[in-house]
Structure 1
Amino acid sequence: MVEVWLPYGETEVCVRIPTANLLDIVEPKKMDGKNPQVEIKNALQNPVGTKRLAEIVKPEAKVTIVLKDSGVSANQMLISALMEEIGSAGVNENDVTIIFAYDPIRDSHLYQKSPMLGEELSARLRVVRHSCEADWQVSVGKTSNGIEICLNKLFVEADVKILAGPVEPHPIAGYGGGYEIVLPGVAGLDSIREVFRLGIDGKAVKGNLEGNPVHDEMVEAADLAKVDFTLNIVRDSNLEIVKAFAGNVNETFEKSVRLAEEIYRIPVENRADIVFVSPGGFYFDNSLQEATVCLDGALEIVKRGKAIALIAECASGFGDKEFFEVLSKFRNLRELRRHLEKKFTVPGLMAYRLIKVLQQVNLVVVSVMPEYYLSRILKLKIARTANEAYRLLADTFGNRGKISFIPYGNLTVPFIKT
């Protein structure tokens, strides 16, 4: 027997299977650890495609930093480094505003509650969380597709606009960070919905930028916003910073994605009969809505009609109300697509993608969520433990089935070698 450990909330769970059944463990590449603070400082001192931030800002400038949440520790490192660079140019801390970017993939209630910067920085600096439904959005123009882009007024009216955060696989935009920090990060709800409506397109998938209509709109939105400077980080599966890139938004994103693909894009030889996938533990599996992001990767390497076991704690439940409502009401993709055309929401799109998975494979969910909601209302198959899920699937698909594991599903972009 072989034991495979999968992240589950803030802990791990073990799956025991016969050694002969193990096909593959698919996970991001290991990278040499570096001092993250040194990496960030080096990036700021050697920006690409633009001058140093300390040369861009003026002492009297009003500066806005939009930060995509990457955990309190990484957030603190990014903001501390940026404040040091800005401060060296004589900018007063009172003239700096930090906006935490909105992410519609995450449960909106968790976004409002989760800690972001820690007490010391939060007390010193002006920190706000972007609300996509607030009335302080202003238009910066339209994209080539005619979508009006409305952004947070604090951001638009700043003298210097800075973006900061991780570049990682994104379930709809291909890769998040960079442009995504503008839209949806500081965008109005109507703009977000019009852009993410394009996410039904088959090219709007994790790890793909080419021909991805959502990514293309995000690029145009960032161009309309006139971003002055960007600080990106790329992390490994342990969420440790591997490299930082700073400078022009386009060039830093390109360099960041190149490294991200080296880490997260993983070739796989053969498809499995069963795939066990974890989003990667906390904070990727807070809710079912967030956890389902990892299923597209599992779908890439499982045989059609076979099985996926989703190992996700989901301590906060389903996610947004629209996600639950769509799942409980629809099972026909054509009907749901018509519904989304009339009443689009991003949680509804996430539900659409989950239903699409359910029509292609057998899905078993291991979580702490009540059985009543999962099995009776949503009609999902459940198991209490990962080992119970294995026994259930082995009984259904045979004891000789080949099994693959994806421990960090939200950060892994597996593909079958051709």
Structure 2
Amino acid sequence: MRISLGYAKEKIQVNIPEKNLQGVLAPNTPQVSLSEEESVRQALLNPIDSPLLKETITPGEKIVIVTSDITRPIPTAKILPFVVEQLNQAGIPDRDIAVVFGLGVHRPHTAEEQAMLVGQAMYARLACFDSTPEDTVHLGETSRGTPIDLSRRVVEADRCICLGNIEYHYFAGVSGGMKAIMPGVSTRAAIQANHSRMVEAQAMAGKIEDNPVREDIDEVAQFFKVAFIVNVVLDEKKKIIKAFAGDVLQAHRAGCAYLDSLYKVEIETLADIVIVTPGGFPKDINLYQAQKALDNAKHAVKKGGVIILLAACSEGLGEHVFERWLLNAPNPHFMVTEIQRNFELGGHKAAAIAMVMENASIFLVSEFSPEFTRKMFMTPFPDFESALRQALQEKGEHASILVMPYGGSTLPVMRSPGK
């Protein structure tokens, strides 16, 4: 069977033997009837498990709106005006509203970046600040021992509203919800404690219940009250396709259920060989970006199986800490154990790749040299045909094959018994 796969800026046609093909996994197409603005407005007018935002606010209160930093795709500028409109209707003047960007452990913003994130009109009206991991208030510890140290400006406000986007996260399960607070406005020590649990078996994409990372994040809601959230689900072009507003946990869960309806794809059995591509440029511009597709593919492959990753990586690895971890480790398992002891952004993605390697071999078709690919503990191939030929030779002529043409936005899940 001929299948078209994105690679760099082109589509390549690959042939998969019919007798081996178990299936082609692709996300569902969302049915969008509202504009981005209408979706946000409708969510605010129909909050989940909460009164209208303007009905929860008292004039005279100081409001802080926490949103993501520049490393996240949430379109804050499209959401913020509608939130501020409701606050104004509740009798809150602009001078009593502040926007805080949750940096986590990322770098501070420039003034120009802050203005771009909220939009020029909102930037001219509202005070905007980066979170302050060096100036925090200690609120206790979660049951797992994670310190709850949050930016003082956020804690000392009368009301906190959080904005976010909901997408799969490879160890926190999903983004959005309380993730705006932990790790958004938390300290490095707190983030280290929380994220170090990424190596636990239940810390995986799409999983909320019994996920030690996500449950630790959500437990922070017992120590710090978030009054209201607005979370959005985005399409491949980062446009809002649906918005959810209201209670920090219940509105978030509704958004997660919608995300699942689009991007979770059920499979009957795991495959011997999984062929995956991020979908081409720009998703395969470097390995740091392509990692998400690789991580999703691990949920479809048998233990001891083969993942064939087609990712051009024309701009290399994509992040210097990620590169250091991948190229300097003596073996993959070292990265898995080291990330628990010394959590480091960039290194965490290298460790995630190493965790895939502990379950399956990775055959990489890319622009990297063979020597460079081997340094990353992957097997290099000059083209797809030679990679598939080798995979079939290793796994047998009757090996089962699953194909994931849009690996970054497709999450394979085993079908529940009886369905």
- TM-score under structure 1 length normalisation: 0.84
Contact 1:151 1:187 in 2 (8 A): yes
Q: What letter is aligned with 1:413?
A: L
Q: What letter is aligned with 2:338?
A: H
C-alpha change, 1:303 and 1:86, in structure 2 (3 Å) is same
C-alpha change, 1:118 and 1:278, in structure 2 (3 Å) is farther
Shift in Å, 1:103 = 6.2
Between the aligned partners of 2:260 and 2:104, the Cα distance in structure 1 is 22
Match of 1:255 in 2: 254
Q: Which residues in structure 2 correspond to 1:273-292 (within 5 Å)?
A: 273-279=272-278, 287-292=286-291
* Deviation digits for residues 318-369 of structure 1 (CA, Å, limit 9, x no counterpart): 354443222223254554454344323343333222122223333233456x
* Deviation digits for residues 149-184 of structure 1 (CA, Å, limit 9, x no counterpart): 111222222222111122221111112110111111
Between the aligned partners of 2:62 and 2:312, the Cα distance in structure 1 is 42
Match of 1:148 in 2: 147
Match of 1:48 in 2: 48
SS at match of 2:274: strand
Shift in Å, 1:249 = 0.7
Greater shift in the superposed pair: 199-208 or 373-382? 373-382
C-alpha change, 1:376 and 1:72, in structure 2 (3 Å) is closer
C-alpha change, 1:93 and 1:315, in structure 2 (3 Å) is farther
Q: What letter is aligned with 1:16?
A: V
Between the aligned partners of 2:91 and 2:261, the Cα distance in structure 1 is 39
- Identify the match of residue 414 of structure 1 among 390, 412, 415: 412
Match of 1:394 in 2: 389
Match of 1:157 in 2: 156
Match of 1:6 in 2: 6
Q: What RMSD, in angstroms, separates the aligned Cα atoms of the two structures? A: 3.3
Contact 2:104 2:191 in 1 (8 A): no
Instruction: Verify: 1:214 aligned to 2:213, yes or no.
Output: yes
Percent of residue pairs identical: 28
Greater shift in the superposed pair: 153-162 or 283-292? 283-292
C-alpha change, 1:99 and 1:19, in structure 2 (3 Å) is farther
Shift in Å, 1:246 = 1.0
Match of 2:360 in 1: 361
Shift in Å, 1:193 = 0.4
* Deviation digits for residues 246-286 of structure 1 (CA, Å, limit 9, x no counterpart): 11112112222222222222112344443232345677656
Match of 2:325 in 1: 326
Between the aligned partners of 1:286 and 1:116, the Cα distance in structure 2 is 24
Unmatched runs of 5 consecutive residues or more in structure 1: none
Shift in Å, 1:73 = 8.0
Residues matched between the structures, number: 407
Contact 2:333 2:354 in 1 (8 A): no
Q: What letter is aligned with 1:60?
A: G
SS at match of 1:84: helix
Match of 1:76 in 2: 77
Between the aligned partners of 2:408 and 2:171, the Cα distance in structure 1 is 12
SS at match of 1:249: coil
- Point out which structure has higher relative CO (alpha carbons under 8 A, 6+ apart): 1
Q: What letter is aligned with 1:247?
A: G
- TM-score under structure 2 length normalisation: 0.83
Contact 1:30 1:236 in 2 (8 A): no
Shift in Å, 1:223 = 2.9
Shift in Å, 1:44 = 0.6
Q: What letter is aligned with 2:62?
A: K
Between the aligned partners of 2:74 and 2:194, the Cα distance in structure 1 is 31
Shift in Å, 1:242 = 3.4
Contact 1:163 1:231 in 2 (8 A): yes
C-alpha change, 1:79 and 1:344, in structure 2 (3 Å) is same
Q: What letter is aligned with 1:65?
A: I
Unmatched runs of 5 consecutive residues or more in structure 2: none
SS at match of 1:300: coil
Q: What letter is aligned with 1:228?
A: A
Match of 1:88 in 2: 89
